[in-house]
Structure 1
C-alpha cells in the first residue's frame, strides 16, 4: 500500500517559491499524497490518521488551537512527522512544536553552494549519499543545538568551511531524527531536514531520495 502522506504548506510568513515544485515531487515518490493549505482540511485529515504528516516549508503561525491539539494527539499517538526546511520557522509560540522539532530556525547566510557531511549512513534518508555531499542551499543556523535533546540522532552536518556566513561554530547539525526506541515527547517518529530551499532541489535525484527515504522511514515503511 502507498504511504498515506498528509502534506501541509500553509505560510503566514516568508513563502518559498519552491513549494509547488516540492509538492509535485512528492507526488512522484509512490506516496498517496493529500496536500492542503487549509487549516480545517488539515485538521480533518489528521483525524484520518495518515502514515506520515509533512510540514513542508511552512512559516509563521499556521495552525489553529484545534490544529495544535490534533497534531499533538497524532504524534503522541504514534503518528510520523517530517519537517522540511522552513518547518523550523513555524509556530514559534507553541512550546510543544519546538520540543517536537528539537531546534528552531535562527538565521541563514546567502543562498550558496556548500558541503554536507554525512555522519550516519544507517538511515534510509542518508544511506545513498557520499560522505561529503556538494549541495546548494541556505545553510540554516538554529537557536539551539538539537543534540541538547538526548533522543535526537543527527544524520548530517554542515561543513562550515565550505561556505560563507556560518555562525554555529563548526559543529553544525543540518538533518536529524528522533529514535522511536528512546523516550521522547511522543511515540511517533520525527525527521527534520533543513535542506530544500530552492525548486532545483526537488529535481535533484540525491535530494529526492533523501526526502523519500525520510518519509518512508517516518511512516515505518522502511
Structure 2
C-alpha cells in the first residue's frame, strides 16, 4: 500500500542547505507518494487525503491561522505528523504545536560534531535496525522543556547527557514522530538514517488505517 504524504519545507528563519537532499530522500522512500510544498495555502484545506503531514527542516512561523486550524483538526482526527530536525524550531509561538504536537521546543545546540546516539527502544520501526550505540554526526539539539517520558516514548538519546533526540506519541487520534537528526545533506544518503526516517513515517501513517 502506498501512503500519501504532504511534505512542507517552508522556512521563515534559518534555512538548511540540506533541504533539497532531504526532500529527494523522502520522495525516494518505497511505499510513499510525496506532495512537496512551501505554500502555506496548501495546509489550509482538507488534509484527510494524506496519511501524514511532514515538516521537513522547516523553521519560523510558516502557517496561516487557517493552516494552523486545519493541521490541528487533521492530527486530532487521525492524520499522522512527522517533524524532522528544525521542525523543532517551527511555530514556536503556537502553544498547540509546541505543547501538544511537539511536546517541547528547540533550546539550542553545540557546534556540529560526532557523538554517540543511544537507542532507547528497539521495538519501534524507526529504531529496530539500529545498534544499541550508534555513532553519528549532527547538530545535537537541546530541548526546553525536556520531553517528559510520561508523555512521549523516547526512541533515541544523546550519549553524553542522555537527553532525548527522537520520540513518538499520540495526539488525539493522530500519531506523531519527531527526530532531531538530519542537519546536513550527508545524512540523507546514509542507509541507517533513511531507515530511521522510513520507520517513523510508516508508524505515523498507520493511524490512518
With the length of structure 1 as denominator, give the TM-score of the two structures: 0.89
Aligned partner (choices 209, 212, 218) of residue 195 of structure 2:
209
Aligned counterpart, 1:165: none
Q: In 2, are the aligned partners of 1:36 and 1:42 still within 8 Å (CA)?
A: no
Return the offset for 1:186. Answer: 1.5
Tell me, yes or no, if structure 1 residue 60 matches structure 2 residue 60. Answer: yes
Q: In 2, are the aligned partners of 1:49 and 1:74 still within 8 Å (CA)?
A: no
Q: In 1, are the aligned partners of 2:121 and 2:155 still within 8 Å (CA)?
A: yes
Return the offset for 1:171. Answer: 2.9
**Distance (whole Å) between structure 2 residues aligned to residue 52 and residue 4 of structure 1:** 7
Deviation string for 1:122-153 (max 9, x for gaps)? 000000000000110000011111116x2310
**Distance (whole Å) between structure 2 residues aligned to residue 7 and residue 47 of structure 1:** 12
Return the offset for 1:102. Answer: 0.8
- Show the 5 A alignment for 1:101-140: 101-140=102-141
Query: Unaligned regions of 5+ residues in structure 1, if any?
Result: 161-169
Report SS of the residue matched to 2:206.
coil
Deviation string for 1:93-137 (max 9, x for gaps)? 100001211110010010111110001000000000000001100
Report SS of the residue matched to 1:175.
strand
Q: In 2, are the aligned partners of 1:89 and 1:105 still within 8 Å (CA)?
A: yes
Query: Unaligned regions of 5+ residues in structure 2, if any?
Result: none
With the length of structure 2 as denominator, give the TM-score of the two structures: 0.95
**Distance (whole Å) between structure 2 residues aligned to residue 187 and residue 217 of structure 1:** 13
Return the offset for 1:47. Answer: 3.0
- Show the 5 A alignment for 1:1-222: 1-30=1-30, 31-44=32-45, 46-99=46-99, 100-147=101-148, 150-160=150-160, 170-178=161-169, 180=170, 185-220=171-206
Return the offset for 1:48. Answer: 4.2
**Distance (whole Å) between structure 1 residues aligned to residue 47 and residue 119 of structure 2:** 36
Return the offset for 1:43. Answer: 2.5
Q: In 2, are the aligned partners of 1:116 and 1:133 still within 8 Å (CA)?
A: yes
Matched pairs, number: 206
Return the offset for 1:199. Answer: 0.3
